[in-house]
Structure 1
Amino acid sequence: MMESVAAPPRGTDDGDAMRMVCISPTLGVYPRAFFPKSTGTDFELTPTLKPLGNLRGDFTVCSNMDHPAIFSGHGGISTFLTGIRGSNVVSMDQLAAEHSGYQTRFPSMHVAVGGGMNASWTSSGIRVRELGDPRDMFDQLFVPDSAAAIKERELRIQEQGSILDLVREQAKRFARRTNPADRQKLEEYLTAIRDAENKLQGMQRWASVPKPKVDYQPEGHPHSGQDYEFLAPMMFDLILLAIQSDSSRVFTAGFGMHNRMIELDGVSTGYHSLSHHGNRPEILRQLGIIDNFYIQQMARFVQKLKDSPLGNRGDGTLLDKTMVYFGSGMGDAARHSNRDLPVVLAGGGFRHQGHVDCKTPGGDSTPLNNLYTTMLQNFGVEIESFNGATGTFRLS
């Protein structure tokens, strides 16, 4: 399984590099079983949060925090990491990925179980798609490419580069005869071209670098795409290996929205139907199993990071250099509410505060983008305000 990781070719990680992992159940969690009643570091763990019991001091739970401009029900799923709507609105994870760039083989990696999260957006307004099977992630990270595949990729990169050169020259000629309104559209187009060029240059840099070797091999097969007990641990094990091998520093890990039955003991009803529970005890019992499973997976992952020393990259553990963020764009799926979103942040070298009630003196929720601003600053991004944030969230 994961006993060791061979020393791979690394990026520029000298021990100071920060990582970011964003975990999201797209339908959120049942609020009454999630949010603590008391605040501070010694708050009483709720049923959903109990798997984090051995990690007190390593995480912060926030209540009364959301995206104030979002009132779109399930539409909040796609704005989970942006906090606002609009064209060319970049998501928090992709801004971090732009910052770290191709220092690693993959600027960011995205994987989901049970369906896509659809919450990651580039600065060009392009949605980043997730891998739907963790085994595909293993292939991307660690399975060596054949010589023929490497040669084909190099030729494709060259061809795409030539096409971009042609398109850029045509756009420049067109720019000389555009009006102000068209010039704005053209600038967006040129931004997309520049993004594509940067991607090609990064891919070219890593094209001939061997992939790292790891003592891990996916074994067995899931019963279906809803076999969460098989797929979810593998997803997080591979993210851990990607962090250990410095293959990427930005990740999203999602649990999709669907109405199929999740294969967990005690669950016998479609997931979306469970989210509209109507406060029925049997439905809430099944929903609690799923919500608890999500936090179990987070806790297991955080513990593994905490148990992984930085070694020759410095003092401390990987948890000190990894922000693990759990949240959703849905606050209460039963009411299609985007208010009071579930928020847990672990690791990252922060001074964690247990449970923090983020209601403002005026009775409003704190913008979640305030926390995102703090996370981006901790990642090394020079930014004062992310997508309309009104401040930062103090965790120092």
Structure 2
Amino acid sequence: MALGLPFLDAMSRSASATTFPKRFIVFFTGLGTVKDAWVPQGTELDFTLSEVLAPLAPFKEKLLVLEGIDMESAYHGPGDPHQQGIGHALTGTELQEGDLFPYACNPNAKVGWGGGISVDQFLASHLGASTKLGSLELGIQVQNANVSSRISYLGPGQPVPPEDDPRNTWNRLFSEIASDPDSAARRRAHRRRVLDQVMGDYHNLQGKLGAGDREKLEHHLEAVSEIERRLDAPGTIGGSCAIPTLGDPPEPFVNDNYPELGRLQIDQLVMALACDLTRVASLQWASTQAGKVFTWLGQNETHHQLSHSSPTDETRRQQIVDIGRWHAEQLAYLLDKLAAVPEGTGTLLDSTLILWCTDIAVGQTHARRDMPYVLAGGAGGALEMGRYLRYQGNSHNDLLVALCNAMDVDVTTFGNPAYCTGKLPGLGV
């Protein structure tokens, strides 16, 4: 079923001249990789993808494989290595001091939430003004609500939880537009009346509060106003917008349902972008210390246990490689779905920038230097893709700056400026 306006003849005649909006996706998988099985062989332009990255070969010309980038910020501030790695991955900022979450290695030491806005939410604040959702956060069996299971932050101490259940994803994205227009209009009108009443109550309360509480209330009022504004956000920019068929999704927290749940979330994410319901999204595969057992790969130990096995244990090493390769297959599935959506003379993949990132480089050492990063897509032509780039300890904060610039958001620093020298060079931004 098509959504909103049909793809008009006028659109078709001018499709080649249309400038389609850029989109940004974070693809997060925890626990790092086996580095020698991840690193490509060859030179910048003439390289062969590794055992882990081989499933991405059909999209080699749409990739930037980045080696030698350090998550320097994640060696500073409180938190254990996993907490620092995931909490810094998109923020480049120290975690908050606090007593909320114990360290995995030292239960007597504790930490708070992430300490700054994440790059996805920063981009959403610039790119999401005209879409129904500023951003879309999806998870696959993330489950836990702690600093080790959050990549996305609206600001210091403001984590954004991912949605694990494809049913809830579908309801949030498509339930209203799948119903008849009159019913949808009635629901919007009812919600607007409720919001108007809430806003009136808040304004009456405002004069009775102290300065600190007034400031908190003002931020809340801004959020409520944003909800009201988005009620009539149109969505739909072309003829490829269609409501995905959900079927009967599996239970969201059964270990062996992991692969099917991931595909359902990817299908809905792609259609949310195709329908212009959002332009910023994240897909988080479990949490950093999850007890995920990749039974469909013939395994019987958790990913976390395997990541801490001896590097000389060839059997377990290969199992970690197999997990990384499986995740690359899921990224390839996402890229294939994006490439199947036509936009003018190109595809949705051409206007999208995907960041594949993780929390640590290597499980056994918890290193956060020489991190494995892959960029994919086209970013609307902002980046020179199809290359393998080796850096010499450049900060990942500089990568976050380059991502913002590629999405046409002009910044010279991101996260804690102490670990930032400007945009990462060489990407073609």
What TM-score, normalized by structure 1, do the two folds share? 0.84
Equivalent residue, structure 2, for 1:127? 159
2:105 is matched with which residue?
none
What's 2:57 paired with?
53
Q: CA shift at 1:16, angstroms?
A: 3.9
The verdict on how the C-alpha distance between 1:45 and 1:125 changes in structure 2, with shifts beyond 3 A counting, is same
In the comparison of the two structures, how many residue pairs are matched?
A: 368
1:249 aligns with 2:279: yes
| Counterpart position of 2:43 | 39
Shift of 1:155: 4.2
Separation in structure 2 between the aligned mates of residue 9 and residue 390 of structure 1, nearest angstrom = 46
Match of 1:384 in 2: 412
Letter in 1 for 2:247: E
Counterpart-to-counterpart distance in 1, 2:62 and 2:336: 10
Structural mapping, 1:9-24, within 5 Å: 15-24=19-28
Contact 1:49-1:292 at 8 Å conserved across structures: yes
Unpaired stretches in structure 2, ≥5 consecutive residues? 8-17, 97-114, 144-148
Q: State the match for 1:62 in structure 2.
A: 66
Closer/same/farther in 2, CA of residues 221 and 377 from structure 1, 3 Å limit? same
Q: CA deviation at 1:29?
A: 2.3
Deviation at 1:325, TM superposition (A): 0.8
Q: Which amino acid aligns with 2:422?
A: G
Match of 1:154 among 164, 186, 192: 192
- Secondary structure at the residue paired with 2:342? coil
Residue 88 of structure 2 corresponds to residue 73 of structure 1: no
Q: Which residue of 1 aligns with 2:99?
A: none
Q: CA deviation at 1:137?
A: 0.9
Contact 1:77 1:329 survives alignment (8 Å): yes
Pick one of 164, 175, 193 that aligns with 1:143.
175
Mapped partners of 1:5, 1:298: distance in 2 = 26
State the 1:381 CA deviation.
Answer: 1.8
The 1:99/1:166 distance shift into structure 2, 3 A limit, reads farther
Q: CA separation of 1:328/1:168 partners in 2, compared to 1, >3 Å: closer, same or farther?
A: farther
Question: Which residue matches 2:132?
Answer: 105
Asked if structure 2 preserves the Cα contact closer than 8 Å seen for 1:20 and 1:322, the reply is yes
Mark the CA change 1:247 to 1:282 in structure 2 (over 3 Å): closer, same or farther: same
Seen in structure 2, the aligned counterparts of structure 1 residues 205 and 344 have a Cα distance that, compared at 3 Å, is same
Residues 63 and 376 of structure 2 are in contact (CA less than 8 Å); yes or no, is this contact kept in structure 1? yes
Q: 1:276 aligns with which of 300, 308, 327?
A: 308
Please tell me whether the aligned partners of residues 60 and 355 of structure 1 are also in contact (alpha carbons under 8 angstroms).
yes
Name the SS of the counterpart of 1:69 in structure 2: helix
Q: CA deviation at 1:143?
A: 0.9
Structure 2 residue aligned with 1:362? none
User: Per-residue CA shift, 1:195-241, capped at 9, x if unaligned?
Assistant: 43333223213335688773421124336543222011111111110
Counterpart position of 2:360: 330
Q: Name 1:96's counterpart in structure 2.
A: 123
Render the CA deviation track for 1:161-194: whole Å, top value 9, x for unaligned.
Answer: 23543565456xx44xxxxxxxxxx49x73x545
- Aligned residue identity for 2:86: I
For the aligned residue pairs, the C-alpha RMSD in angstroms reads: 2.7
Paired AA for residue 391 in structure 1: G
**What TM-score, normalized to structure 2?**
0.78
Instruction: State how far apart, in whole Å, the 2-side matches of 1:356 and 1:198 are.
Output: 42
Q: CA deviation at 1:382?
A: 2.7
User: Relative to structure 1, is the Cα distance of residues 222 and 395 closer, same or farther in structure 2, using a 3 angstrom cutoff?
Assistant: same
CA distance in 1, matches of 2:314, 2:348: 40
Tell me the distance in 1 between the aligned counterparts of 2:356 and 2:408. 20
**Kept after mapping to 1: 8 A contact 2:132/2:231:** no
CA offsets 1:320-363 (integer angstroms, 9 cap, x no match): 2110110112111222222222100012122125211111xxxx
Q: Answer yes or no: is the 8 Å Cα contact 2:398–2:421 preserved in 1.
A: yes
Does the 8 A contact of 1:64 with 1:340 survive in 2?
yes
Gapped regions of structure 1 (runs ≥ 5): 176-185, 360-364
Cα distance in 1 for partners of 2:173, 2:6 equals: 13
Question: Are the aligned partners of 1:91 and 1:122 in contact in 2 as well (CA < 8 Å)?
Answer: yes
Report the alpha carbon displacement of residue 120 of structure 1 after superposing the two structures with TM: 0.9
- Partner of residue 242, structure 2: 214
- Structure 1's 194 and 23: CA in aligned 2 closer, same or farther, altered over 3 A? farther
Quote the sequence identity (%): 23
8 Å Cα contact 1:8/1:245 also seen in 2: no
Q: What is aligned with 1:182?
A: none
Matched with 2:323 is: 290
> Matched residues in 2 for 1:131 and 1:21: separation?
15
